[in-house]
Structure 1
Amino acid sequence: MKRGMMRLPVLSCLIPVLCIAGCTQFPQLDAVQSEGVRKAPYPALIPLADLVDQPTAPGATVEARTQLEAQAEGLQSRADGLSGREVAQSADTAERLAGLREKAAELRAQEP
């Protein structure tokens, strides 16, 4: 029997099973809904053509852009202030760092 012919009975059994499984109820999801969600009206639907026909996607407003640039400048100045600064370390952290530096030196010495 050809391979393609063997797949046909399997697919003919699998398709109805998948269709029936698609109709399954999910009580766990229904139980999560609050009363307000159950009683809420369906949202207003708009035609797809209205979305597709928009000439350009809406961009950031001048106000939002100015605010983001100000935040970026503040973060950059904060980062500049922190770079090069010595960070306080606990004794345990300092010991581990020293051990790692020693191990790195050993590994560099082993390189050909």
Structure 2
Amino acid sequence: MRQLQLILLPLLLCACAQFPELDASQSPGVAGAAFPALVPIESLLDGAAPRATPEMRAGVDGRVAGLRARAARLSGPVVDAQTRSRMRRGVSDPF
């Protein structure tokens, strides 16, 4: 019985975790929007393939450029040269 309690305790503690506010991530107007119509899956599969509009493509291209720029900024060294040389000197023994 004691072993079972030791197994269940961490699981119960995980259930007490705080989750991020998902409602805050909604776009404005989503809460009051009507639900989409439910349609048979066959009508979705038999229909034409969706096409991106030029406006959608421009938005995606803008996000791609932003993510590539961010990746380029993050690809530099993590520790600058001055800090790296200080780290190589090490820590002096205070005693």
TM-score, shorter chain, exceeding 0.5: no
TM-score for both structures, normalised by structure 2: 0.34
